[in-house]
A = this chain, B = another copy of it.
Amino acid sequence: MVRIVVDAMGSDEFPKPDVEGAVLAAREYGVEIILVGDESVIRPVLDAQNAKDLPIRIVHAPEMLSMEYKGEELVLKARNKDARNSMAVGIDMVKKGEADAFVTVGNTGAGMVTALFRLGRIRGVDRPALAPIFPTATGFCVVLDIGANPDCKPENLLQFAILGSVYAEKVRGVKNPKIGLVSNGEEEGKGNELIKATTPLLKAAKINYFGNVEGKEVIGGVVDVAVTDGFTGNIMLKSSEAVAKLIIDKIREIIKNGNLITKLGGLMIKPALSAIKKILDPSEQGAAPLLGVNGLVFIGHGRSDAFAIKNAVRVAKEAVEVNLLDAMKSAIEESLK
């Protein structure tokens, strides 16, 4: 049985969504769940779940890395082998082989730093990358990196391309995934210095390299994986979310302030608008993997609800089952030859 550690202290509303989502996952996907966090806080929520028959246990971790922790402080905590926060305790279980994957929707920076320092990196990977799913016209696109590395070298982007390709193929079920390099223009030769220096590396790599892509190709679903530095990727993600919110809000506003016909029409298309929100909702896709660390770690939005956390556990389980970590290691080893 696949064993997933879930950070019970992760979400903005912790521990309720985290515990409830984990219970849902245990029930629906037949996984073993280890809840890490403050037992006195977790226990009552778990006991209220009617989950006695499920393989769920609590591992006590008295501290938590809330959103206030940043920079050097996080690094110190991540490096402290006696750290007793829920992320450190949970990730250590993966490291020791006591669990197969770690899922958190807590402080993203804390999750990345804790994973990096405690698990280390896959041999041949210089920097791990956070790789969420963007909704597209035809389905989804894996975008990496979206925040772990604001400054990248061409070699980092090459590694992201290989890691993203393996993830899209093994976990997201895309055969021979098409890899695009995010740039300010589709034509070869367009781009900043980083893009120009990265292009020959991607061409030479054993991936299905498509070429430069703009937002049009990423959101249009032309490629399966979009490779970018963490600065640009983060801005793409945040801008896309903001535009989606703006449009949905404006439609609501116009309907609300409209005449009777508009209002009635708005009521009638409410299910359609909900369907759109569902397409755009990252919680449908679970959490994003931190690719390149030497273990399986998934990090989701702090505002995740139980449903999102359940989905995050599902994706983690699938990654374990297809042995994502070994597949990434092999692909990176291959690229070093």
Interface residues of A (CB under 8 A from B): 70-71, 135-137, 147, 150-151, 182-185, 187, 189-193, 195, 214-216, 218-220, 229-232, 234-251, 254-255, 258, 261-262, 264-269, 271-273, 275-276, 279-280
Contact = CB atoms under 8 A, between A and B. Distances in A.
Which secondary structure characterizes the binding site on chain A? helix
Given A242-B218, A242-B220, A250 B279 contact: yes
A83 B336 CA distance: 51
A261 to B, nearest CB: 5
Q: How many copies does the complex hold?
A: 2
A236 B236 contact: yes
Nearest to A219: B242
Nearest to A189: B71
Contacts of A248: 247
Contacts of A193: 150-151
Contact of A238 (B216, B231, B266): B216
B254 A275 contact: yes
A189 B74 CA distance: 15
A217 to B, nearest CB: 8
B239 A251 contact: no
B192 A150 contact: yes
Nearest to A267: B265
A250 B264 CA distance: 20
A230 B184 contact: yes
Given A183-B231, A239-B243, A243-B244, 10 more contacts: A184-B230, A185-B234, A214-B238, A215-B235, A216-B241, A239-B239, A251-B269, A251-B273, A254-B275, A269-B269
